Each structure stands twice: as structure tokens, then as C-alpha cells.
Structure 1
Amino acid sequence: MRQLAVISGKGGTGKTMLTTALALCAKDVVMADCDVEAPNLHMMLDAQPVDEEPFYGLDVAVIEDTCTRCGMCADACRFGAITDALSIDPIKCEGCGMCALVCPSDAIHLERRMSGTVVLSSTRWGGLVYAMLKPGESASGRLVATVRKRALEMADGGTVLIDGPPGSSCPTISTLTGVQLALVVCEPTLSALSDMKRVLALADQLHVKGAVCINKCGLNDAIESKIEAFCVERGIDVVGRVPYEKSLFEAYARGHCVDAIQRHLIEQAKDIWRYFERTLRER
């Protein structure tokens, strides 16, 4: 199975825009938006939902009417999820089950709770799987794994293009595990440079080949040079250099990104896709 993950150390670097460009030039590809807390790829590609399924994350504790109000559950809860009135705060509850374990009257049980939705959709360029995690919910890494599983099933042995989440925490780990290439989109700012180093280190720990695309080139030559120097020092390929184009970002903000990408970014995306295919042949 061929899998390319487009990620970034921080938000706002142009990760989803580049993923959109790659989707336009790739053939026979299924896309997976693994930024489950703030998915945007379906809007960029005007995706049409085909099917939805609930995602059940962490369990939640429920106190029954047989409660004797002894308070042992509140004392045992490490997350402060049981109020003074002995009711459950579902936002704080981690579903660990300790309250049910210590309850002397067996008045507490755990229930599954719906934490988000997985959406299977179609676009002009292929299938797209994305998800929406409810605000305040945990288990984002598990939801990412579910999105990837559905995308792999839809691809049926073909190629999956992943729009990953920003950062280097659990959702990114779940995104990168098992892919052939992690394409890190970086902008020429100090924060993006720092976060790029972190997410490249994560990819290395997961034994995933990393490459870099510098977006918004021309805004800060000094930081661009630092990005280039770091990549040369570590033997990391810089596979794309996208000049800053104000009209592209204005079109992107209005949701008219496809036409703008075809005018300004499609040739860069084709070069990156060819790099991905060479990487697969060399493995």
C-alpha cells in the first residue's frame, strides 16, 4: 500500500493547500484528512458525502439511582470528573472505570459515548475520508487510525494521500505510522523552523522517510537559508519551493483554491508527486 502523509510542525504553513494540489495531479488516489479536530480538505475539494459512521472514543461513567452517596467514587477519581453533588462531568471523565471499581453498591457502569463522526465522500479527483471529533473529546489518535483504515479499504491496494494534523503529538504519530513518505510543509518563520525540526525527528523515530517543501518563499530569505542548511546537514531532501503568491492565498481564503492552484502550484505539485513515486521505487 502506497501512503504519502503531508504534515507540518505548526498550523498555517499551507499543508492542506499543498495536499489539494497533490490530489489534483495524482491518479487513482484516495485521500484521508487526518486533521480530525479541524478538517478542511473536504471543503477545498467540494467533497460530496456518501456515508457516515459514528466514532466511539472513551467510555463515560454513569451513576445509577441505586447510589448510596458514600462518596468513594469521588475520592478515587484522579480527573475530578465527579462533582460534589456526585454527578459525572462527561468532559472530565476519562472512562478509566476506577469509580465503578471502588463503588460498594455497584451503582456505576461505563457506557460508550459518541466522540465524533467519520465521513466517506467522493470528489472529482477520487474518494475522500475525513472525520470530525467533537469539541473537548479525547481519542483523536484512535479516530485518525479509523480514518486511515477506511481510506485504505476504499483504496483497495492503491495509493492513499493523507492530509495530516499539525504538531507532533498523538494524532501525528497515528498519521505517520506505516507511511512511506512524510512531506513536511514549512514556512520561513522561526516558529515553523523549530516545529519542522520536531516533526522530522518524530518521523525519524518512526522510521519514516522525511522530505521538506518550503512554502511562502520570498518572505524571509534568512530563515529560508536556515531551513535549507538544516536539511542539507541532515540529508533531508527539499523537494519543493513555493513562492509566496498573494492571489493564491486570497483565492484559498474564499474557497476558490482549485482554480488558483492549477494556475500557480500545479507544476510544483507534479514534481513532488514524481519524487514520491521515485521514493517508492527505491525502497
Structure 2
Amino acid sequence: MRVFISYAQEDRPQAEHLKQRLLDLGHAPWSDSGLHGGQAWWDEILNRIRESDALLLLISPAFLASQACLLERQYATLLGKHLVPVMVAPVPHHVLPSELAPLQIVDYVQASEASAYAFARAAATIQPAQQLPHPLPPPPPVPLSYLNGLRDRIARPTLTMDDQLSIVEQLGRGTQAEDSEERRAARELLEMFCRRTDLYESASRRAHEHLVRGPIPQPPPQQLAMAGPPVARPATGTSTTVKVLAWIGAAFIALIVLIWLMMPTEPVCYFDTAVGAYVCS
């Protein structure tokens, strides 16, 4: 059977491993490992989905965050394709998309003999695809289309300072996106932008800052699910500070009193008429 492998870039090693297993089982798998971004890349993806009998979905936190994987899955569902979900990294069941939650998911987080048998049984359920619907559903747009527009702007012969700063700020936000494909593409475009020889100093500096900073680490879904709503805690920082300051103030006052008590006092003298002389005490 013709099997389209849908996966996030972080899961490429697992994709290549399962691709080989499908070949060993007599299937004809296909993945986009040899393609690059852009409209031609996306047209080839959609064509392969239409020609496939089933989609192998490599579920992971990166897969769920990928816009391209979402569009592939939605288009395949509209075409009536058989979905074979395989979990390659831990994801809590209750955070799965509604179209995947009812399906039997093969646990392949740890490659083992048991997981290999489970994967083989799932692959054996793949049947030839039904006839495509007529008319075909509208194809989804190229994912990350705003980055494609930025690529065209970067390729222009000349760019004003405002153009350069605008491009850098949009790409900088892209490098912090949750979608791994978007982060990767934005970083590649920033590197492409930095190779221009007509950059203004401020735009060049900001672009390199974004490249050095890197992406913001994203917590895995299981941690997000277990975290729950924030718990209100008493603000102990302020009361602790007040107590420390009070102790310091009390110690300072005690020190002043002690110094005052230890200081020698000058004698007080007066003329005593009874004895006819000055008396000091």
C-alpha cells in the first residue's frame, strides 16, 4: 500500500526508522525528506496525499504544534484517507485533537519487540484507498505563507531601512513560534537576510541578536496538562522584608543607647553657700 508519512522535523529519525519498517512489511512509504519549502513543495505534498492509501501520523509534541502536519491531516480526512497514528514521543491522551482521540494509537515511544508487533498489526489494516471525492475539496494554502512573502521581500535588489527593520522583526517573532517548522524557516530566512551586503547597521545588529538568542524553550504538553491553573500563594516576600528591616532598626537603636550609656559624663559644679566653696557632683 502507498503510505504517506506525516511528521515534524524533530521526529525525522523516527520517521526514517518507521519508513524502513514499512518497506520491510511490503508497503510503499513516502516522506518529504528530499523536498524544500515553497509552493512547489506543498503541491507535491498534496499530490502525494491524494495518491496515498493511508497516512502514517507520527504523533509527538512537535507534531501537534506543526501547522504543516495539521493541514496534511485535515486534507487527508476530507479525502477519506485511512489514518494510522503512531506515538513516537509522550503526549497525554486528553490533549489529542478530536479526530485522533477515538483512534487506536500505536505506542512506539520505546522501540521494542512489542511495539514492532503492534506497528505491524496496524500496518496490516491498511486497505486500498477509495475513489477520491468529486469535486475535490479545495487544497489548503501553503503553510507559513507569510514567510514565503518575506522570502520574496528579502530577494529584492534594494531595501529601505524601514523594510529591513520590518523584515527582521517579523522573522524574529517567527524564530520564537511554537511550530518547529516556522522556527526553522524563520531562522533560515534570517541567515539569508544577513548575507545581504547592503544592510543598515541597526537591521544587521537586530538580525544577529535574533539568531544568537535562539527559540524560547516550550514545555512539553504533559507538563502543561499536569500543571493545572496557577495556585494563589501568600506573598511572603514583603512580610519577610518588613521583619528584617524591623530587626535591623531595633539593633541600631539598641546600639545607640549602649553607646550613650557608656559615654563619660562631665561633672556638674555649683557654689554651696553653706560651705563657702564650689561643690562638683
User: Which protein has the bigger helix share?
Assistant: 2
Q: Same fold (TM over 0.5)?
A: no
Per chain length, whose mean CA-contact separation is higher, i.e. which structure has more relative contact order (CA < 8 Å, sep 6+)?
A: 1
Length-normalised TM-score, structure 2: 0.37
**Is the radius of gyration larger for structure 1 or structure 2?**
2
Length-normalised TM-score, structure 1: 0.37
